[in-house]
Amino acid sequence: MSEKIESQTVTMAHGAGGKQTSELIDKVFAAHFANPDLTADDAAVLNPPVGKMAVSTDGFIVSPAFFPGGNIGKLSICGTVNDLACMGAKPLYLTCAFVIEEGFPMEKLEQIAEAMAKTAKEAGVRIVSGDTKVAGKGQVDGVFITTTGMGQIEDGVQVGGELAKPGDAVIVTGDIGRHGCTILLAREDFGIEADVKSDCAPLWKTVEAVMDTTHELHVIRDATRGGVGTVLYEIAGQSQVGVQIDAAKIPVATEVQGVCGMLGLEPLYLACEGTMVIIAPAEQAEKIVETLHQCPYSQNAAIIGTITEENPGKVIRMTEIGTQSLLPQPGGELLPRIC
Amino acid sequence: MSEKIESQTVTMAHGAGGKQTSELIDKVFAAHFANPDLTADDAAVLNPPVGKMAVSTDGFIVSPAFFPGGNIGKLSICGTVNDLACMGAKPLYLTCAFVIEEGFPMEKLEQIAEAMAKTAKEAGVRIVSGDTKVAGKGQVDGVFITTTGMGQIEDGVQVGGELAKPGDAVIVTGDIGRHGCTILLAREDFGIEADVKSDCAPLWKTVEAVMDTTHELHVIRDATRGGVGTVLYEIAGQSQVGVQIDAAKIPVATEVQGVCGMLGLEPLYLACEGTMVIIAPAEQAEKIVETLHQCPYSQNAAIIGTITEENPGKVIRMTEIGTQSLLPQPGGELLPRIC
């Protein structure tokens, strides 16, 4: 690894395209991201994926940029890798574009780059190209990162929001709402002491393990903005089916449950960044959950409901005492800047 | 095209991932970007390029977002398409990620989307996937756009900053410094009245025409941040050659020359967004310039110098009266937020 950059903070010169920009790229970004496909030119030259290619882009503006369980760097890799995984695509390449506020601490930028490199490595994706812009103090809040991922869609897998079928099982890969709850607590001073950590994690290997178990999968979707509730409404609409969930079976960490109780929040609408919804034929469900329990980020996976012919476009919640109620449709302003 | 969006400004709800986000995407973005490859899912599913793939990403934070000759939308397509073109790659697919300030006028966002669609069409590239985030008032200055482009590298073309050879001709595809000069005048109140317009343009078809004329090309590079002077220094360094330019032959628009004279600026360091440097064997140079003169954005193309064995890593300027001087190496803080 090359020597450390001297400047303590990011300056306008680091974004001007000259000597200082090169130094920032070499000593902070390239030093961490180094791999044979990383380009120093305007564009990376790559072997394209075989078969079909999946492409996804995501902008990350999470505030605060550092939170229990991760930082904006880790999140910017997870978010895009998970979007590819939801299409059954193995992540191959990733680009990242930074907009950094003048005066941003160099040490924090290093930590972000380090987290990106570590997470990319874990996800098996190569960072191939980047861009750095610096905006004046007050023109951007800290650091924003946009990542774009390219993946190779695995043969024989066809998933999509419109493919849920009556009788299918609804699975969540882990306990829900942790990312949203973490950001909320990190941002607002509620005077609540709770040991909540974001679930932020790269899930390609989890999806791969599930696909190795069965190719009979109908929908895979990560429950980010809007949480599991929003995702279920999207699927209900796209597939024109009903979704019936069993409140007692939804895994929620005790500490998240506690915070939600105190603040009157519904965990189903809190964002996850390392938890997916999987919809698959009922006869595959047990096998899928068994596989998930063996993966590091899905030990709390559970079957939480079924797809129904009745109530198309709606999500119905069965309560512990046997009553049914309509889950209110999400809308309006949720907690902003959670990703 | 679908009906207009009702909201006059962008609100936090437009970035929350729910109903209002879908409405913004459908009525503002998808309405303009519509094409068979545009996805509504987390990732687009695409046919990969044949042969080698070029991938480039760029963040755009230009201030002001609207300027004579273009806006941030047009620029965000040109910048990435031109980066691909510099690698001899035909642009195929493009993703775009928006970060929008709460309260941003919807009408302006529509104009930006319209400019993006128009420029993408002209460049022959399809917008395949996008992302929309909204940051609170004062957390981002207006709108930032990150685009990532994927292209197919044309057979038999091999260009790169390290391939310039002594004896090669140095060509610019148009008059220089117009974008930087335009942004400077749009931003600062110098009390100068000058009819300067940005050169912002998509150059793939220009590069394609040149490649149809000859495959004997050594370097193609767009002269964005830092201008032609910075690009020549980069090439001199990468190829370990000298660059000798003839001051009298450098095309500069009269109005740009005038502004530079008044403000004491060097046009060689002002950004271009639709002008490239091409380095090719001397015997191909006339033919290349003839071709360029027939393309819409390169009617002022000119041979401005030669690559030399002497003075490796340096750029030497021959003045009109026959003297030689070292072009000072660019560095430090140039005009920020020009792209």
pLDDT in tens, B211-228: 999 999 999 999 998 899
pLDDT at A2: 56
State whether A20 and B331 contact (CB < 8 Å): yes
Minimal Cβ distance to A57: which of B21, B45, B131: B131
The Cα A54–Cα A94 span in angstroms is 12
The Cα A305–Cα A271 span in angstroms is 19
State whether B226 and A135 contact (CB < 8 Å): no
pLDDT at B1: 47
Paired tokens of A122: 């874990």
pLDDT in tens, A32-42: 999 999 987 78
Q: Mean pLDDT, to the nearest integer, of A214-243?
A: 95
State whether B225 and A17 contact (CB < 8 Å): yes
pLDDT at A323 over 60: yes
pLDDT at B51: 93
Please report which confidence band the pLDDT of residue B292 belongs to, taking 50, 70 and 90 as the band edges. Answer: very high
CATH architecture of the domain with residue range B169-326: Alpha-Beta Complex (3.90)
Whole-number percent of chain B with pLDDT over 70: 98
State whether B43 and A139 contact (CB < 8 Å): no
A29 or A332: which carries more pLDDT confidence?
A: A29
Q: Mean pLDDT, to the nearest integer, of A93-115?
A: 98
pLDDT at B193: 79
pLDDT at B269 over 90: yes
Please report which confidence band the pLDDT of residue B334 belongs to, taking 50, 70 and 90 as the band edges. Answer: low
CA dist list (Å): B120 to A258, A281, B329: 50, 41, 35
Specify the range with the lowest mean pLDDT, choosing from A113-122, A323-332, B305-314: A323-332
pLDDT at A318: 95
- State the nearest Cα–Cα gap between A161 and chain B, in angstroms: 8
The Cα A98–Cα B146 span in angstroms is 9
B188 or B263: which carries more pLDDT confidence?
A: B263
Q: Which residues of B5-41 are buried (b: 16+ CB within 10 A; e: fewer)?
A: beeeebbbbbbbbbbbbebbbebbbbbbbeeebebeb
Please report which confidence band the pLDDT of residue B103 belongs to, taking 50, 70 and 90 as the band edges. Answer: very high
**Chain B residues whose beta carbon lies within 8 Å of the beta carbon of residue A47:** 52-53
pLDDT at B104 over 90: yes
| Beta bridge partner(s), residue B100 | B134, B143
pLDDT in tens, B25-72: 999 999 999 999 998 778 999 999 999 999 999 999 999 999 999 999
Whole-number percent of chain A with pLDDT over 90: 86
**Chain B residues whose beta carbon lies within 8 Å of the beta carbon of residue A84:** 42-43
For A163, the 3-state DSSP assignment is coil
Paired tokens of A7: 């400047």
Please report which confidence band the pLDDT of residue A29 belongs to, taking 50, 70 and 90 as the band edges. Answer: very high
pLDDT at B333 over 70: no
**Chain A residues whose beta carbon lies within 8 Å of the beta carbon of residue B161:** 41
Q: Right CATH number for A12-153 from 3.30.1330.10, 3.40.50.2300, 3.40.190.10, 3.30.70.20?
A: 3.30.1330.10
pLDDT in tens, B155-205: 888 899 999 999 999 999 999 999 999 999 998 777 887 899 999 999 999
- State the nearest Cα–Cα gap between A46 and chain B, in angstroms: 5
Cβ atoms < 10 Å from Cβ of B107: 11
- Going from N- to C-terminal start, the domains of chain A cover 12-153, 169-326
- Cis peptide bond upstream of B312, omega within 30: no
pLDDT at A1 over 60: no
DSSP string covering B189-252: ---------------HHHHHHHHHH-S---EEEE--TTHHHHHHHHHHHHHT-EEEEEGGGS--
CA A36 to chain centre: 26
Paired tokens of B191: 């009390």
pLDDT at B331 over 90: no
**Chain B residues whose beta carbon lies within 8 Å of the beta carbon of residue A38:** none
Mutate to test the interface with B, among A133, A163, A327 (most CBs of B within 10 A): A133
State whether B140 and A140 contact (CB < 8 Å): yes
State whether A144 and B140 contact (CB < 8 Å): yes
The Cα B223–Cα A261 span in angstroms is 57
pLDDT at A156: 83
pLDDT in tens, A135-194: 999 999 999 999 999 999 988 888 999 999 999 999 999 999 999 999 999 987 777 878
What is the distance in angstroms between the CA of the first residue and the CA of the last residue of chain A? 30
pLDDT at B280 over 50: yes
Minimal Cβ distance to B13: which of A230, A329, A333: A333
pLDDT at B188: 78
State whether A83 and B16 contact (CB < 8 Å): no
